[in-house]
Structure 1
């Protein structure tokens, strides 16, 4: 049974439901009222101006059952919540599974199946969300072979390098990715705003000697750093370097901490790009702390404890969460053959949207056509 109590001059509501206690303010309940007078029935968007609700709004009457809560407010408005909706914390996402090299999951998907079947596509996107990467096999061998699957998820993110671009050794390379040298673990394009959310790396040829891909879970690295060196962790969440990319036609610059936290104090994005980082001339004590903290983080993301080694075959594609994973490669020699990858970006919002819409459609077919 649900019991309801009003407190603080009837401006707060306490619900005791299934051995849990929930507290809500009258203002919060009023602006979230689910009725058609408050929210558009199709878009779900608010019709009233929430900032105009009187700050002294009170709850005149509250009645609760095991299924519903009915409220009358002092502004004359009445509404009814279903308790399932009221207690929904908007946490439908499955939790991320952090990993080290010994426990790294190898999530795989088939290109043709994901292209044609919504359930398979959702499985692929769930694995990408959960583990930070997924390997897709059976990608067509043409230069834009990944494009049809990108189109199933969201628009291709275009940059100053175009859409889907080559990653191979060329003369007079405009970026170190276009050379044969090894690349330290890094996240892509921290100098952009917004930073691309997901990297799509399609292998056309990989016969060169070397050139193995590496992955490290940046969120796991952050967790270990917080456990082993709390002061270093605090420093990397506090100090904000800038990142810069310049060529004859482009000047890109942005900033952000190496470990960015969300409103709950949990890592939501990692940045690491030795090639493009510019730390400002901070006070000497702060710089010394930052350099020591960065070194501790670097040792984690380059150590064998966290490093997963992969070598993509032609027709395989690696999709990487660029907010979470750090990727790199070993050096390669062209004497053994060609190493030719094609790379594109898809933003985070469209990828998350597609996954959540598929979840709704496949778990609740009646919701199709309703606002997502």
Structure 2
């Protein structure tokens, strides 16, 4: 803590300003009270709140505040006293960003995608964490050494979270079949798209495992949807705004299934950051909006499509047997070139894992490995 650090209260005590290094940060008294890090307010084991926050008085104030070492000592008008670690308060003061934190945007110039080894990720927590961190940061990871049997990726899925089952089952084939129930099961090329926007919730991560890929063509295309959205925001703000406001519907139907949902092609979080993209030409159904609004939407969609199909943003790769792509379905547009079976068989397998279980596994592993590293450093200095 610097000597110049100071804390001040507003005249009514309902605002507290913490000034460190000439950078003031303001906190509401009511927010501080309901977040008080003590056993009366938060359960020590779960971190869940024990008091009913909605019953706190709306005019609650901080009556006394002082910096004490690395903590901020507070006394509130309801009589509660608590010590806040200053580091915890600073962690809450996050800078505004255009996309969610810890992401790296990329385009066709991406030199080296995140890579992982299947056996290492299966057996070693540090390797698994590195794989999940790369997936979180870049939006996809290329995994090698996956067994080339039909359920070869299942063991690694089980290290992360349950397989998401759909009307197509668990792990499903991606190969050309007669009477295909979906265009992925044909030889045609596929435009850049996100999967299953007609579901609620939309599957979080796509696992695409290559068993054999000897057909002519069939290369995968990958586009960073966050990057595409940011480029659109920079170059055509009106189109960007339109695609964040208009929510087309998406629909999938067959003899046994009827799925419908809706959402904007570019979705923002509460801070205005890009948090999700959608694009699925095959299943999109736009409502009969007023003609002027439809005209704006169609022009904006066309501008976005031009970006996500451009050489500027597209990475190409062809999976080899034993390789697997794990892709963030909230971020990545993926597609493929058409292929011909004259050159050989193209057989991939695909499954889904939800976003919450994947994020949970990454964050728990990060916490545990940091704890182990801290304990190891203490042992070395003892």
What range is the shorter-chain TM-score in?
over 0.9
Partner of 2:57: 54
Indicate the residue corresponding to 1:300 in structure 2.
Answer: 307
> How far apart are residue 342 of structure 1 and its match?
0.3
Which one of the candidate residues 11, 15, 25 is aligned to 1:12?
15
Alignment partner of 1:26 out of 25, 29, 38: 29
Alpha-carbon offset, residue 8 of structure 1: 3.4
Q: TM-score, normalised by structure 1?
A: 0.96
1:326 is aligned to 2:333: yes
State the shift of 1:366 in Å: 8.7
Partner residue, 1:210: 217
| Displaced runs of 4 or more, over 4 A | 90-94
Instruction: Give the counterpart of 2:133 among 120, 126, 132.
Output: 126
1:145 aligns with 2:119: no
Secondary structure class of the residue paired with 1:364: helix
- Residue of structure 2 in register with 1:154 after alignment: 161
| Distance in structure 2 (CA, Å) of the matches to 1:49 and 1:75 | 14
Query: Which residue in 2 is equivalent to 1:179?
Result: 186
* Count of residue pairs brought into register by the alignment: 368
Please name the residue that 1:69 is paired with.
72
Tell whether the 8 Å contact from 1:101 to 1:308 is kept in structure 2 after alignment.
yes
Identify unmatched segments of 5+ residues in structure 1: none
Q: Are the aligned partners of 1:100 and 1:216 in contact in 2 as well (CA < 8 Å)?
A: yes
TM-score normalized with structure 2 length: 0.93
* Displacement after TM superposition at 1:132 (Å): 0.7
Q: SS in structure 1 opposite 2:91?
A: coil
How much does 1:165 deviate? Answer: 0.5
- What's the offset of the Cα at 1:308? 0.9
Residues 261-293 of structure 1 show CA distances to partners (whole Å, capped at 9, x for unaligned) of 111112111100000000000111111111111
After superposing the two structures, state which structure 1 stretch, 181-190 or 1-10, moved more.
Answer: 1-10
Give the whole-Å Cα distance in 2 for the aligned partners of 1:107 and 1:23. Answer: 39
Matches within 5 A, 1:1-372: 1=3, 2-89=5-92, 95-365=102-372
1:66 offset after TM fit, Å?
Answer: 3.8
Residue 247 of structure 1: how far off its partner (Å)? 0.3
In structure 2, relative to structure 1, the CA distance for the partners of 1:20 and 1:90 (3 Å cut) is closer
Conservation of the 8 A alpha-carbon contact between 2:25 and 2:93: no
2:181 and 2:109 mapped to 1: Cα distance?
36
Greater shift in the superposed pair: 156-165 or 71-80: 71-80
What do the CA deviations read for 1:62-99 (whole angstroms, capped 9, x no partner)?
Answer: 12134011111111111111111122228699621111
**Structure 1: distance between partners of 2:30 and 2:80:** 12
Q: Report the CA distance between 1:346 and its aligned residue.
A: 0.6
* RMSD of equivalent CA atoms: 1.6
Structure 1 residues 91, 115: CA separation in 2 closer, same or farther (over 3 Å shift)? farther
Long gaps (5+) in structure 2:
376-382
- CA spacing shift, 1:86–1:43, aligned 2, 3 Å: same
Cα separation, 1, equivalents of 2:93 and 2:326:
26
Cα distance change on mapping 1:138 and 1:230 into 2, 3 Å: same
Q: Distance in 2 between matches of 1:75 and 1:47?
A: 16
What secondary structure sits across from 2:43 in the alignment? coil
**Residues 210, 324 of structure 2: 8 Å contact kept:** yes
Partner deviation per Cα, 1:203-261 (whole Å, 9 max, x = no partner): 00100111111111111111111111111111111111000000000000000000011
